[in-house]
């Protein structure tokens, strides 16, 4: 029997590859915020299906990018040169050589996608899981704009694209999530929404599969705040994370009846 879900967490890792440990000039605090902080913990929903994540930090190997998207052609490809705040990651004139890059891609990128391909046939619904900054960073197309508490994205057919999830089904899931998180404080006009999908690699790579797929983005404002986050130890209140995880579990469990 197929499992209800395949949860894919592309950016939840914090690991700096050994090859780059001496080259990277970013602080631990910067690395912490540049990751999809809390994603691996919030979406650890193994009771509902398979969970695929990676330990490596997205700045160094981004599994949600084409493996051949490299500098200097792309500074936001599989390996970055700047952060979301437009800060240089390496000293001037210093960058990993081709051998190091090829080794990291082989070690992290390809195994991650092999696991996805192996799990596709055993799942009924794919969820690509992210956490995002409360305000869009400088490199984003919507830089400076407040972000919703929860955003769902899917690809709708426009004649060339393939539908990843029916609009009605996406709206049902959003309604369930909205009810579960309605008590959260927020300042944005639209706290829960269905957004226009960015052209990210994973969603488009696996869009041709017959398994429905959505992308969920959870705002870090839910836990990276004065109440739940200690910036000195880079720790998030465990009970808060467990509470969010439990609500997500209940939402996806309730959504199962529509699959």
Check which CATH number belongs to the domain holding 248 and give it. 3.40.630.40
Q: In which domain, by residue range, is 96 found?
A: 3-258
Please count the helices (runs of H) and the strands (runs of E) in the chain.
Answer: 7, 8
Q: Convert the pLDDT of each residue in 58-95 to its tens digit.
A: 999 999 999 999 998 988 999 999 999 999 999 999 99
**Average pLDDT of the residues in 99-113:** 97
Which helix or strand (DSSP H or E) is residue 178 part of? helix 167-180
Characterize the bridge pairing of strands 213-219 and 150-153: antiparallel
**Which residues touch 161 (CB under 8 Å, ≥6 apart)?**
155, 207
Long-range contacts of 92-101 (CB under 8 A, 24+ apart): 94/23, 95/23, 95/71, 96/19, 96/20, 96/23, 100/19, 100/20, 101/70
CA angle 202, 208, 213 (to 5 degrees): 55
Q: How many residues does the chain have?
A: 259
In angstroms, the CA 115 to CA 104 distance is: 17
Condensed to tens digits (0 to 9), the pLDDT of residues 20-31 reads 999 999 999 999
Q: What pLDDT, on the 0 to 100 scale, is given for residue 200? A: 84
Instruction: Kindly report which listed range (52-56, 61-65, 105-109, 161-165) carries the lowest average pLDDT score.
Output: 161-165
> Vertex 169, ends 247 and 259: CA angle to 5°?
75
Q: Give the pLDDT score at 163.
A: 79
Q: Is the dihedral of CA 69, 70, 73, 77 positive or negative?
A: positive
Kindly state the DSSP code that residue 21 receives in the 8-state scheme: T
d(CA 104, CA 98): 10
> Which residues lie below 8 Å from residue 21, measured CB to CB, with a gap of 6+?
none
Return mean pLDDT, the chain. Answer: 94
Q: How many domains does the chain fold into?
A: 1
Residue labelled with tokens 């070690």:
107
- pLDDT band for position 114 (50/70/90)? very high
């Amino acid at each position: 029997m197929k499992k209800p879900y395949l949860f894919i967490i592309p950016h939840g890792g914090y690991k700096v590859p050994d090859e780059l440990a001496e080259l990277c000039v970013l602080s631990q605090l910067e690395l912490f915020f540049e990751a999809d902080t809390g994603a691996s913990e919030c979406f650890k929903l193994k009771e509902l299906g398979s969970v695929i994540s990676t330990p490596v930090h997205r700045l160094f190997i981004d599994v949600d990018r084409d493996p051949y998207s490299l500098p200097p052609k792309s500074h936001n490809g599989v390996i970055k040169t700047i952060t979301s705040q437009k800060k240089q990651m390496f000293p001037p004139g210093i960058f990993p050589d081709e051998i190091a890059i090829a080794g990291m891609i082989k070690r992290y990128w390809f195994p991650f996608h092999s696991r996805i391909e192996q799990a596709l046939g055993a799942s009924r619904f794919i969820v690509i899981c992210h956490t995002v900054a409360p305000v869009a960073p400088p490199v984003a197309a919507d830089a400076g704009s407040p972000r919703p508490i929860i955003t769902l994205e899917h690809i709708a057919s426009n004649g060339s694209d393939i539908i990843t999830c029916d609009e009605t089904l996406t709206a049902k899931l959003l309604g369930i999530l909205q009810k579960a998180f309605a008590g959260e404080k927020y300042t944005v006009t639209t706290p829960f929404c269905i957004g226009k999908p960015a052209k990210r690699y994973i969603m488009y790579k696996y869009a041709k599969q017959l398994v429905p797929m959505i992308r969920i983005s959870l705002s870090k404002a839910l836990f990276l705040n004065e109440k739940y986050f200690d910036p000195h130890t880079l720790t998030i209140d465990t009970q808060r994370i467990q509470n969010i995880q439990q609500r997500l579990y209940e939402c996806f469990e309730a959504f199962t009846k529509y699959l």
